[in-house]
Amino acid sequence: MTRLRTVEEQLDRVLTDLRVPDPLELALLDAQGLLCAEDVYARAPLPSFDNSSMDGYAVRAADTAGATESAPVVLPVVGDIPAGSRAPRGVSRGICLRIMTGAPMPSGADSVVPVEWTDGGVARVRIHRPAEAGAYVRRVGEDIETGDLAVSAGTPVGPAQVGLLAAVGRERVLVRPRPRVVVMSTGSELVDVGRRPGTGEIIDANSYALAAAARDAGAEVYRSGIVPDERAILLDALEGQLLRADLIITSGGVSAGAFDVVKEALTELGTVEFTRVAMQPGMPQGFGVLGTEQTPIFCLPGNPVSALVSFEVFVRPAIRLMLGKRRLFRRTVTATTLQSITSPPGRRQYRRGLLHRDDEGRYSAEPVGGAGSHLLASLARANCLIVIDEEVTEVSEGDEVAVIPLLLSGA
């Protein structure tokens, strides 16, 4: 029997074969969460005109000199400048205008006296503190000047970037798009949820689980129907999906059984390779490309835990790479095991676990449920994968282990 491929070797293969989809121009809110793929320069300055940062009175600072609580300066108020005011009249010596936050500074005025320093007068105002020249005025371009770089290529577009792009007049922006991922379950025993399974049938859990995982990883997801273990139907279904897919994920039919049709049919095509990877769960793995566009395809094993762990190990980094992300892998933490765990020799075990963090920030972890790759409920109770290296066959209570916390991106 050939040597098992290591997780790293398989990952290397997968990641070097992937193509990053071309940048796409999207409306601002659709760009949220994606990486900007262009340098966006400000077409206008921000602020776009001098304006008041306070509700108060636009004055010439010199006119307020010497004002105190007991000896206020009194100025006539010759008008109001609300926000949105187009052509405010100017301020000349010895008068002032009432001004609101964000309203344009009138010509002649060099500062704003906040309303809190005054009696709030409408026709005449008593000013109790002198203004400093320039005080409470937001200067044109002090945030960003015309021609300055507003958002650079490679920056994640979050709320502040969306806001800035809007503020500088951009309705659309070039981003690294979400890869369109098609998820397909294979297996003649599968029925879709909502239908009552007959004898020997089971409800398809994988297409839902993998679709959710792909979406969580940042993909745009399409769940295609269930495909039975029949070569012609499988090939037909895959061909149909190639039109809309940047990436295809199948589950089931990749082991050594008599009806493992995914492996049989795709091996014949010659562009998809089926290997055995030194891991548990998830030993049988298929990866390759399909069709004229060389669309990448992952053929994951059918057991739900195998499928999801394989997704975590191979597909999630692939989707992140397609999104242009720099960090492909989750951060692992070191934890003390609360229970001893055994692991098969020569295979890296990903054991479902519960990760705890104490008040001092120390981590501990314990396995949840057994090692069986059909134990989906245990995975649903887990919040981490405990990673036990290939050469380790037993960890004792109190030993340190590497743990991958399974945090949801949207959580």
Tell me which residues touch Mg ion (CB under 5 A): 187, 252-253, 302
* Whether 242 contacts 293, CB under 8 Å: yes
> Nearer Cβ to Mg ion, position 23 or 302?
302
Identify what 255 binds: ligand AMP, Mg ion, none; CB under 5 to 8 Å per kind: ligand AMP
What is the layout of strands, in order, in the sheet containing 73-81? Answer: 111-114, 56-59, 96-99, 73-81, 124-127
Identify what 301 binds: Mg ion, ligand AMP, none; CB under 5 to 8 Å per kind: ligand AMP
> Nearer Cβ to ligand AMP, position 33 or 369?
369
Identify what 310 binds: ligand AMP, Mg ion, none; CB under 5 to 8 Å per kind: none
Identify what 304 binds: Mg ion, ligand AMP, none; CB under 5 to 8 Å per kind: ligand AMP
Cα(392)–Cα(102) distance, integer angstroms: 65
Kind of pairing, strands 363-367 and 333-337? parallel
Q: What is the number of alpha carbons within 13 Å of residue 329 lying toward its C-beta? A: 11
Is 88 a binder of ligand AMP (CB under 6 A)? no
Task: Copy the structure tokens of residue 236.
Answer: 């037909």
Identify what 134 binds: ligand AMP, Mg ion, none; CB under 5 to 8 Å per kind: none
Surface-to-core class of residue 397, CB atoms within 10 Å of its CB (0-12 exposed, 13-18 middle, 19+ buried): exposed
Identify what 177 binds: ligand AMP, Mg ion, none; CB under 5 to 8 Å per kind: none
Q: How far is the CB of 3 from ligand AMP (least distance, A)?
A: 22
Per-residue binding letters, 181-210, with ligand AMP (x by CB under 6 A): ----x-x-xx-----------x-xxxx---
Q: How far is the CB of 229 from Mg ion (least distance, A)?
A: 6
* Whether 320 contacts 35, CB under 8 Å: no
**Would you say the C-alpha torsion 388, 389, 393, 394 has a positive or negative sign?**
negative
Distances (CA, A) of 295 to 50, 254, 272: 53, 19, 11
Per-residue binding letters, 248-287, with ligand AMP (x by CB under 6 A): ---xxxxx-x------------------------------
> Nearer Cβ to ligand AMP, position 223 or 320?
223
> Nearer Cβ to ligand AMP, position 227 or 388?
227
Identify what 343 binds: Mg ion, ligand AMP, none; CB under 5 to 8 Å per kind: none
Amino acid at 45: P
* Whether 63 contacts 94, CB under 8 Å: yes
Q: How far is the CB of 149 from ligand AMP (least distance, A)?
A: 48
Q: How far is the CB of 376 from ligand AMP (least distance, A)?
A: 8
> Nearer Cβ to ligand AMP, position 210 or 335?
210
> Nearer Cβ to ligand AMP, position 204 or 366?
204
Phi-psi region of 390 (alpha: psi -120 to 50; beta: other; left: phi over 0): alpha
- Residues 282-341 binding ligand AMP (CB under 6 A) are 301-304
> Nearer Cβ to ligand AMP, position 206 or 285?
206
> Nearer Cβ to ligand AMP, position 91 or 375?
375
* Whether 7 contacts 279, CB under 8 Å: yes
Cα(137)–Cα(368) distance, integer angstroms: 60
Question: By C-alpha distance, which of 88, 36, 90, 81 is closest to 57?
Answer: 81
Residues near ligand AMP (CB under 6 A) are 185, 187, 189-190, 202, 204-207, 251-255, 257, 301-304
